[in-house]
Chain A
Amino acid sequence: MSFAKRNRVAIIGTVGVPANYGGFETLAEHLIEDLGDKHDITVFCSGKKYAKEERRKTYKGASLKYIPLDANGVQSILYDSISIIRSLFFADVLMVLGVAGAWILPFVRLFTNKKIIISIDGIEWKRDKWSLFAKLYLFWAEKIAVNYSHIDISDNEAIQDYTAARYGTLSRIIEYGADHTLKITPTEEDIHAFSFLASPYAFKVCRIEPENNVHLILEAFSKTSTLPLVIIGNWKNSAYGIGLKAQYSNHPNIHILDPIYDQAKLDVIRSNASLYVHGHSAGGTNPSLVEAMYLGLPILAYGVSYNRVTTERQALYFKNLDDLIQTIESLDYGRLNELGEMMERTAKRRYVWSKIAFKYDLLISEALRTKSKSSITPKSSKLQYKKLLENGMAHLKTPVNQF
Chain B
Amino acid sequence: MIPTLIVTPLLALLLSLLLTPVARKIAISLGLVDKPNQRKVHQNHVPLVGGIVLFITTVLSLGIALPFQSKSFNLINIFLAGFVMLVMGVLDDRFDIRASLKLAIQLVIAHFIFMQGIRIENLNGLFGVYELQEWIQYILTIVVITGVVNAFNLMDGIDGLAAGLSIVGFSVFTVLSFMLDMPNLSLVFLTFVGGLISFLYFNLSKKRKIFMGDAGSLVIGLILVASSIKMLQAAATTPKFNVTLTLVFLVMAVPVFDALRVFRKRIKAGKSPFEADRTHLHHLILSSGLKHAQASLLITLFIVTLLVMGYFFFYLTGVLFAISICLTAFFFSTYLLQTLSDMNTWKQRIKEMEDNEQ
What is A's interface to B at a CB cutoff of 8 Å? 123, 125-126, 135-136, 139-140, 158, 161-162, 165-166, 283, 303-306, 308-309, 319, 382, 384, 403
Contacts and interface: CB of A to CB of B under 8 A. Distances in A.
A305 B340 contact: no
Nearest to A281: B354
B353 A158 contact: yes
26 contacts: A123-B350, A125-B343, A126-B350, A136-B336, A136-B339, A136-B340, A136-B343, A139-B339, A140-B339, A158-B353, A158-B354, A161-B353, A162-B349, A162-B353, A165-B349, A165-B353, A304-B354, A304-B357, A305-B353, A306-B354, A382-B270, A384-B270, A403-B349, A403-B352, A403-B353, A403-B356
B243 to A, nearest CB: 36
Contacts of A161: 353
Given A139-B339, A384-B270, A308 B357 contact: yes
A308 B354 CA distance: 10
B270 A303 contact: no
Given A136-B336, A140-B339, A382-B270, A126 B356 contact: no
Could you tell me the dominant secondary structure of chain B's interface residues? helix
A305 B339 contact: no
B45 to A, nearest CB: 31
Interface string B317-358: 000000000000000000010011011001101101110111
Contacts, number: 44
Contacts of B346: 139, 162, 166
Nearest to B346: A166
Contacts of A162: 346, 349-350, 353
Could you tell me the dominant secondary structure of chain A's interface residues? helix
A384 B343 CA distance: 26
B350 A303 contact: no
Nearest to B356: A403
Interface of B: 270, 336, 339-340, 342-343, 346-347, 349-350, 352-354, 356-358
Which of A161, A309, A382, A403 has the most chain B CB atoms inside 10 A of its CB? A403
Nearest to B336: A136
Given A125-B343, A158-B353, A403-B356, 18 more contacts: A126-B347, A135-B343, A136-B336, A136-B343, A139-B339, A139-B343, A139-B346, A158-B354, A162-B346, A162-B353, A165-B353, A303-B357, A305-B357, A308-B357, A319-B358, A382-B270, A384-B270, A403-B349
Which of A135, A158, A305 has the most chain B CB atoms inside 10 A of its CB? A305
Contacts of A135: 343
A88 to B, nearest CB: 28
B286 to A, nearest CB: 17
Given A136-B340, A139-B339, A384-B270, A158 B347 contact: no
A158 B340 CA distance: 23
A139 B350 contact: no
Contacts of A303: 357-358
Contacts of B352: 403
B149 to A, nearest CB: 29
Contacts of A305: 353-354, 356-357
A176 B349 CA distance: 26
Contacts of A309: 357
B107 to A, nearest CB: 27
A166 B342 CA distance: 10
Nearest to B345: A166
A272 B188 CA distance: 85
Contacts of B350: 123, 126, 162, 283
Nearest to B352: A403
Nearest to B270: A382
Contacts of A308: 357
A306 B355 CA distance: 11
Contacts of B340: 136
